[in-house]
Structure 1
């Protein structure tokens, strides 16, 4: 299997996780069975980890609070940052954890129901971890673009233009 074909399949799935495999085959001018085999292998290797839906919570009837927490930690001997990152990413409210360069070591993304839930997470779960030295919490006020999708498109003005 060619790396170029794998990349093309991955790109199409990344753009639209609901795309049918026969549609991918048609778009790439390949046999459907080859596309099925590629996707199966990519899933088994852990390259394709999850199929998802991007939700614009700002427009949904139920709102979510997003926060980014910068965490400074003391790395653990023999484990570096990995063991601490694992303790953090196992909490259900954590959406992402990244090892960072710069002033802070880890960046933690949360999506919860309230600002109070963010505060409770930091004070009751994150700060008590022995290796955590300090945290800095940033609340996301508005999302303009996420995962390559513009979320804040201005609504079109449907009014008729009338000139005197």
Structure 2
């Protein structure tokens, strides 16, 4: 992968909606070259998705529950953690899944409408998987920053200080 592709990736990672003409100027390339880079990066699955960061707390009746579940598992011979991870990430509630170092093996992020739904996910789906030894569930109380975006950033007072 050349330096221009990496530069394009860095730019679109922070602004997936940047227009092609602007992106082309930023990386000193033609619009057609940028389109080709993007098409190739999407084809190679380097670019997996373009997404928006939304503050659901500001959308009435749409705020849900986010839970982070620490999971200890017994890895299977020959496939390690991959097989159990694949079973877990196929559940529609799962928004993210990471292999971790430390006290637990997997970190599962789920979203649901209620705490009861989250509890049912853990008890009915996650803990019933043979390789799962234990789970610890943490509920998100407030989101301060996500994907580099700060939520509820205070407005800066732009008035000039006047003192006698």
TM-score, normalising length from structure 1? 0.92
| Deviation, structure 1 residue 27 | 1.8
Q: For residues 101-128 of structure 1, what are the alpha-carbon distances to aligned partners after superposition, in whole Å with 9 as ceiling and x for unaligned?
A: 0010000001111111110100010000
CA distance in 2, matches of 1:162, 1:151: 31
Which aligned pairs between 1:81-120 and structure 2 lie closer than 5 A? 81-120=81-120
Q: 1:56: Cα distance to partner?
A: 1.1
Number of the residue aligned with 2:145: 145
Unaligned runs of 5+ in 1: none
Structure 2 residue 22 is the aligned partner of structure 1 residue 5? no
The alignment partner of 1:17 has SS state of coil
Structure 2 residue matching 1:96: 3-state secondary structure: strand
Q: From the superposition, tell whether residues 120 and 85 of structure 1 become closer, same or farther in structure 2 (CA, over 3 Å).
A: same
Equivalent-residue separation in structure 1 for 2:41 and 2:80 (angstroms): 29
8 Å contact from structure 1 (residues 143, 152) kept in 2: no
Specify the alignment match of 2:136 in structure 1. Answer: 136
1-structure distance, mates of 2:49, 2:11: 14
**Structure 2 unmatched ranges of 5 or more:** none
Instruction: Name the CA distance, whole Å, in 2 between partners of 1:45 and 1:97.
Output: 22
Q: Tell me which stretches of 4 or more aligned residues in structure 1 moved more than 6 Å.
A: none
In 2, are the aligned partners of 1:72 and 1:105 still within 8 Å (CA)? yes
Cα distance between partner residues in 1 of 2:139 and 2:52: 22
Q: C-alpha root-mean-square deviation of aligned residues, in Å? A: 2.0
The residue number in structure 2 matching 1:34 is 33
Displacement of 1:157 in angstroms is 6.1
SS across alignment from 1:58: helix
**Could you say which residue in structure 2 is the equivalent of 1:123?**
123
TM-score with structure 2 setting the length: 0.92
